[in-house]
Chain A
Amino acid sequence: DTGVSQDPRHKITKRGQNVTFRCDPISEHNRLYWYRQTLGQGPEFLTYFQNEAQLEKSRLLSNRFSAERPKGSFSTLEIQRTEQGDSAMYLCASSLLIGNEQFFGPGTRLTVL
């Protein structure tokens, strides 16, 4: 399978715990994006990387959220001190440097109890 992969697919955690999600993009893609989607809404942008550089962060991304892409390949998204409002589907997408077609992974569904 050469598509975008994400792990875990589902995560249930208690309020106040830290969680970390991983995304492996399509291998030749330079850009990697994180989005968050809640029920009935379209995905909302969180942050993106071009190679290992984090080029933009949304105002939605509070200081409890951090993302890395240390070697320009896979990326991690960490949420510290989770809140119930963090419950959502976290989507990763990747694209080539040129062009904007983004391909999504299967997502990680987070439930904060």
Chain B
Amino acid sequence: QKEVEQNSGPLSVPEGAIASLNCTYSDRVSQSFFWYRQYSGKSPELIMSIYSNGDKEDGRFTAQLNKASQYVSLLIRDSQPSDSATYLCAAPSYNQGGKLIFGQGTELSVKP
């Protein structure tokens, strides 16, 4: 199992819907998780971090962490076409400093 895994998508949702992006992880990462948004040709932009079990909300974004299931997700409410991007899940490597291990990213397309 890879340390951090995501479905590559693409995930297509209509404008105004909830987009749900998922990520699973192995025991080889520390249990802090980061969601980055990456527009085509641009660099990753940090949008959410989550460190403890449960939900964390920030505007239209909600990150959910379930340590028992080794599962982290990002929900985007009221999706907008401007949310169309690749979403990267990342976690620090366990016992190896602060380097981040990234999933391959999920491409989200929000259709008007």
Contact = CB atoms under 8 A, between A and B. Distances in A.
Interface of A: 31, 33, 35, 40-45, 48, 50, 55-56, 89, 91, 93, 95, 100-107
Residue from A41, A43, A56, A91 with most neighbouring chain B CB atoms (10 Å): A43
A100 B103 contact: no
Contacts of B32: 100
Contact of A102 (B100, B103, B105): B100
B98 A104 contact: no
Interface of B: 4, 8, 30, 32, 34, 36, 42-46, 49, 88, 90, 92-93, 96-105
A45 B43 contact: no
A-side binding surface: helix, strand, loop or mixed? strand
A100 B34 contact: yes
Contacts of A43: 44, 88, 100, 102
Given A42-B90, A42-B105, A45-B99, A106 B42 contact: yes
B48 to A, nearest CB: 10
Contacts of B44: 43, 91, 104
Nearest to B105: A42
Given A42-B90, A101-B46, A104-B44, A95 B98 contact: yes
Contacts of A95: 98
